[in-house]
Amino acid sequence: MLRLIGQRLLAMVPLLLIVSVMTFSFTALLPSDPVDLIIGDRGSEEQYEMVRERLGLNQPFLTRYADWLLRAMTGDLGTSFFNSVQVKDAVLQRMPATLSLTFGSVLISITVGLAAGVAAGLRPGSWVDRTATFGATIGQAIPNFWFGIILASVFAVSLRWFPATGYVPLTDSPMEWLRSITLPALALGLSTSAAIARQVRSAMVGVLQQDYIRAARAQGLSSRRVVLKHALKNALVPVVTVLSFQITVLLGGALIVEQVFAINGIGSLAITAVRQQDIPMIQGIVLILVLVVMLVQLATDILYGLINPKARPT
């Protein structure tokens, strides 16, 4: 197992490199000159050159990339063009909100998706199944941010059960933290819940027809035990696969849902950076997001191996 983790960590390196080359060259394509944006129209020629040199933009592209890469490897992602904030600090400061949201929604979608999927898969064609399948189809068509708006207007604005906006860090108050991320995580988790429910349902229907389920029943194990122990573990395999796909969807969705609930996470940081054409900030955000995605996918790979012994390295 340790070897598998090691291998996977090593395999991440080339992928990260490619992502870094891509973001770096894409950001080099930015149409406007960042120097102009910084000093404005009235800047003199000397000022212009000075800023250009300070930002290292007078260097050739490859030199800039190599320089950036070397510093990135030591954990230094550069400084924002517009305020002297370290990119790393800015991203790390915003990360907890986005991650809370994302993982909250992962939890919600596993719980909801699993429950709905199992209930539907146990009796295909029953009203439970039809309701769940219908719900999943609708759930996948609802934009997460719209669901967020609806949730906010019902549970925050009208009923006042939850705050409508803002994020409270976990370290400040665990209770308030939970309240502040509940609605956004629900909004974000909807479509993934639906995706998981669909997968679990069809996996469950398939697994329940397997010989080993009949054999377990023949051995006199109770239906409950057969479903919860023997069938569920097999039906979990596709859940893990879906999660590994959905993590990019959820992280991306978090950037948008944050806007509904005015949460200062990566989303607003990224949008501001794009508006200002703040190159180091964009690069840093992309790189760290990709890192998060890869770590989550590594975790799901390990989980996959735990659930499915056939997938383990021998």
Partner 1 sequence: MLLTLLFCALFAEWVTPYDPLQQDLINALQGPSVEHWLGTDDLGRDVLSRLIFGSRIAVIAPAEATGLAVLIGVPIGLFIGFRGGWWDWVVMRVVEAVVSIPGIMVAIVIIAILGTGLHRAMFALGILYSTAFLRLARSVVLTEREEVYVKSARVIGAGPTRILLRHIFLNIAPPLIVQVTLTVGAVLLAEAGLSFIGIGVQPPQASWGTMLNSAASFMELSPFLAVPPGIAIVATVLAVNLLGDVLRDSIGRGVRVPSTGAPAQRMLAVPRKATTPMAPHPDDALRVEGLEIMVSPKGEAEVPVVTDMSFRIAKGETLGLVGESGSGKTVTGLGLMGLIGTGVRITNGRVMLENTNLLGLDRRDLEKARGNDVAMVFQDPTTSLNPTYTVGNQIAEVLRIKQGLSHRAARDRTIELIDRVGIPRPAQQADAYPHELSGGMAQRIAIARALSCTPKLLIADEPTTALDVTVQQEILDLFRDLQDEFGMAMLFVTHDLAVAADICDRIAVMYCGEIVETAPVDALFADPRHPYTAGLLSAMPHGQSGKPPLPVIRGSVPAPGHWPTGCRFAARCPYAIDACAKPVQMTGTDRLERCTRADELSLEPAK
Size of the site for partner 1 (CB under 8 A): 73
Question: At residue 42, what are phi and psi to the nearest 5 degrees?
Answer: -90, 5
What x-and-dash track marks residues 112-131 binding partner 1 by CB under 8 A? Answer: --------------------
Binding residue for partner 1 (CB under 8 A) from 9, 22, 66, 69?
22
Q: Give the binding range for partner 1 (CB under 8 A) out of 35-43, 60-68, 80-88, 213-221.
A: 213-221
Query: How many C-beta atoms surround the C-beta of residue 114 within 10 A?
Result: 20
* Contact between residue 153 and residue 106 where contact means Cβ atoms under 8 Å apart: no
Q: CB of 50: closest distance to partner 1 in angstroms?
A: 25
- Quote the least distance from Cβ 42 to partner 1, whole Å: 24
Cα–Cα distance for residue pair 291/275, rounded to 1 Å: 24
When binding is defined by CB under 8 A, the residue of 143, 176, 264, 301 that contacts partner 1 is: 143
Out of 185, 188, 255, 263, which residue is the one contacting partner 1 (CB under 8 A)?
Answer: 255
Is 252 among the residues that bind partner 1 (CB under 8 A)? Answer: yes
| Contact residue for partner 1 among 76, 95, 217, 305 (CB under 8 A) | 217
Q: How far apart are CA 188 and CA 165, in angstroms?
A: 15
Is 308 a binding residue for partner 1 by CB under 8 A? The answer is yes
272 lies in the binding site for partner 1 (CB under 8 A): no
Residue among 229, 235, 238, 241 nearest 209 (CA): 235
DSSP symbols for 147-201:
HHHHHIIIIIIIS-SS-SS----TTT-HHHHHHHHHHHHHHHHHHHHHHHHHHHH
Side chain identity at residue 126, one-letter code: S
302's CB contacts (< 8 A; 6+ apart) are 1, 4, 5
CB of 66 to partner 1, least distance (A): 19
Helix, strand, or coil (residue 2): helix
Q: Is 10 in the site for partner 1 (CB under 8 A)?
A: no
Binding of partner 1 at residue 30 (CB under 8 A)? Answer: yes
Helix (H, G, I), strand (E, B) or coil at 59: coil
Residues in 36-95 that interact with partner 1 by CB under 8 A: none
Q: Among 54, 60, 85, 78, which residue's Cα sits nearest to residue 284?
A: 78
Q: Which stretch binds partner 1 (CB under 8 A): 17-25, 46-54, 69-77, 80-88?
A: 17-25
Q: Closer to partner 1 by CB, 36 or 49: give it.
A: 36
* Closer CB to partner 1, 9 or 15, in the complex: 15
Of 270, 280, 284, 300, the residue at the interface with partner 1 (CB under 8 A) is 270
> Which residue in the set 26, 49, 126, 172 belongs to the binding site for partner 1 (CB under 8 A)?
26
Q: Does residue 211 bind partner 1 (CB under 8 A)?
A: yes
Residue of 6, 157, 166, 173 interacting with partner 1 (CB under 8 A): 157
Token pair 């840093």 in the structure block, residue: 284
DSSP letter at 84 equals S
Q: Which two tokens stand for residue 153?
A: 């207007």
Options 52-60, 67-75, 110-118, 224-232: segment touching partner 1 (CB under 8 A): 224-232
Task: Give whichever of 144 and 192 is closer to partner 1, judged by the CB atom.
Answer: 144
User: By the 8 A CB rule, do 78 and 68 touch?
Assistant: yes
Torsion region of 75: left, alpha or beta (phi above 0 gives left; psi -120 to 50 gives alpha):
left
